[in-house]
């Protein structure tokens, strides 16, 4: 974690004290007390931009040290999500302020204090320094510890334990996405899965030989152009009382680098393609979160991992490949590789793991970002109840989804003259995100509740204010871990 959190019944005497202020500059009880209240009132009087609204943070230097005014918004609007945003804003403002230890005394209930701390730790992530010989002083943070004042510190600690497990998983996923492709090859990704062993997650790896034996030929075809062979990883967490109960399964696209293959990408788009394994990173993080908090559910995570490279062995447009479920697929565009690896992984997971529900995540299409922007991921689902549940969890966690059509109207566009199915359409204005989802549906049994999350627009946040995701800041977001963990907790845990 980027910041250490403790809970206490009173301020610890840290060098800075954060206090709460409501709109209209109405201080909370702790903020209004004694000389502190007079100093704060004087500091905030006159011309200033601090209004006491959510997200407002104003450090004030007093003779007794730093006093930090934190806008809490109206009490009626102070739900868990708002408190997380406030915690995130507090860390973002003070991270490089020179303050090392902060007391946060915002007059919150025990569970509210835990939610504030959750926002703090979610925001306290930065790009790992392991890829530098000399640390960049511009990225150095001073804030190392926060003591959150709570009327019942033990209750806050219990509430925070589950949240902290999720925050740690989000950080792990972000670390994976930001890793350079020469450090996170398919095998290196597989090696990282050993981090799950101490948590009690079982890991099975299917190497290229096993993939060929079992017939995952689409995954093999995508990885064929690389000197680094593809693989499939299966992660299992059995936390339910009935170890034999059907699991909930998650499949992630894990393209550790995507050149586009023979249909090579433009050079300006290439550098970011190390992050084309964002779906697999999310599934990895979700399994880590479930194991850390000892979730009472059976879950399976399947990662389809490959490099999409150019070579004399690479697949070509026009190739026909037999998928795991027997479907003959004509490859149209080698840069539409994600749906190929997912197709095999979905069919394999459905047959091998026999799940009660199946969800996949992938940075799959630029078209979904064009349609929805960077604030919502595309949701496609074969089951209305599943779609509604996921959308509700996404709203609650502020990882928002928007349901898009999954229909046979697009089957004509996927017809092939030589095979059962084309991987995509060559039309310039084709709705590629809709085609991709319909293509994937052919590899999922019709009676299995299934959802496809196209996270291409939400897996990373931009540097600008509009693109800066409040809980994680600019860079990889770990999108999907929070919403899926919530969905499992509400709908599937015992």
Which H or E run contains 231?
strand 231-238
The catalytically annotated residue of 265, 322, 374, 375 is 265
- Tally of helices (H runs) and strands (E runs) in the chain: 15, 20
How far apart CA 241 and CA 494 sit, in angstroms, is 8
The verdict on whether 265 is a catalytic residue reads: yes
Distance of CA 35 to the CA centre of its chain: 44
How far apart CA 123 and CA 85 sit, in angstroms, is 9
Helix residue ranges per DSSP H, 62-109: 80-94
Tokens of 293: 């908090």
The verdict on whether 339 is a catalytic residue reads: yes
3-state secondary structure of 133: coil
Q: CA angle, 348 as apex, 403 and 291 as ends, to 5°?
A: 75
The catalytically annotated residue of 22, 339, 422, 482 is 339
Using only C-alpha atoms, the chain has a radius of gyration, in whole angstroms, of 24
Tokens of 472: 């994680």
* Residue whose C-alpha is closest to residue 491's, from 391, 398, 410: 391
Cβ proximity of 14 and 92 under 8 Å: no
Residue 244 CB contacts under 8 Å (≥ 6 apart), including other chains: none
Tokens of 221: 């075809």
Residues tagged active-site:
265, 339
């Amino acid at each position: 974690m980027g910041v250490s959190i403790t809970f206490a019944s009173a301020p610890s005497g840290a060098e800075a004290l954060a206090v709460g202020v409501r709109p209209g500059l109405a201080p909370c009880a702790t903020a209004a007390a004694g000389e502190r209240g007079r100093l704060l009132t004087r500091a905030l009087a006159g011309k200033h931009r601090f209004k006491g609204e959510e997200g407002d943070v104003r450090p004030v230097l007093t003779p007794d040290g730093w006093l930090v005014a934190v806008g809490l918004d109206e009490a009626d609007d102070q739900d868990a999500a708002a408190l997380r945003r406030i915690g995130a804003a507090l860390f973002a403002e003070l991270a490089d302020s020179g303050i090392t230890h902060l007391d946060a005394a915002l007059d919150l209930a025990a569970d509210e204090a835990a939610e504030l701390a959750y926002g703090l730790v979610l925001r306290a992530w930065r790009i790992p320094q392991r890829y530098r010989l000399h640390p960049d002083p511009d990225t150095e943070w001073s804030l190392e510890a926060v003591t959150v004042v709570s009327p019942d510190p033990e209750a806050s600690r219990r509430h925070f334990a589950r949240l902290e497990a999720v925050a740690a998983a989000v950080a792990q996923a972000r670390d994976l996405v930001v890793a350079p492709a020469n450090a996170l090859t398919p095998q290196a990704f597989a090696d990282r899965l050993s981090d799950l062993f101490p948590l009690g997650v079982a890991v099975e790896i299917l190497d290229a030989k096993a993939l060929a034996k079992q017939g995952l030929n689409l995954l093999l075809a995508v990885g064929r152009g690389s000197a680094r062979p593809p693989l499939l990883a299966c992660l299992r967490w059995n936390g339910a009382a009935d170890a034999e109960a059907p699991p909930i399964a998650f499949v992630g696209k894990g393209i550790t680098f995507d050149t586009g293959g023979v249909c090579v990408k433009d050079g300006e788009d290439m550098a970011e393609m190390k992050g084309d394994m964002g779906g697999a990173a999310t599934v990895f993080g979700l399994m880590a979160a479930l194991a850390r908090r000892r979730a009472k559910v059976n879950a399976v995570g399947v990662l389809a991992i490959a490099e999409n490279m150019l070579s004399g062995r690479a697949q070509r447009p026009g190739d026909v490949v037999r998928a795991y479920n027997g479907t003959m697929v004509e490859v149209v565009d080698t840069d539409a590789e994600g749906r190929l690896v997912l197709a095999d992984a979905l069919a394999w997971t459905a047959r091998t793991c026999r799940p009660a529900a199946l969800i996949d995540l992938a940075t799959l299409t630029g078209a979904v970002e064009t349609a929805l922007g960077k604030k919502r991921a595309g949701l496609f689902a074969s089951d209305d109840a599943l779609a509604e549940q996921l959308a509700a969890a996404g709203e609650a966690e502020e990882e928002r989804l928007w349901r898009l059509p999954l229909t046979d109207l697009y089957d004509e566009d996927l017809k092939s003259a030589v095979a059962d199915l084309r991987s995509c359409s060559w039309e310039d204005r084709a709705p590629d995100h809709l085609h991709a989802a319909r293509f994937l549906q052919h590899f999922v049994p019709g009676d299995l509740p299934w959802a496809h999350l196209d996270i291409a627009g939400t897996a990373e946040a931009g540097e600008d204010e509009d693109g800066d995701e409040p809980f994680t800041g600019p860079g990889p977001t770990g999108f999907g871990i929070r919403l899926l963990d919530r969905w499992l907790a509400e709908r599937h845990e015992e």
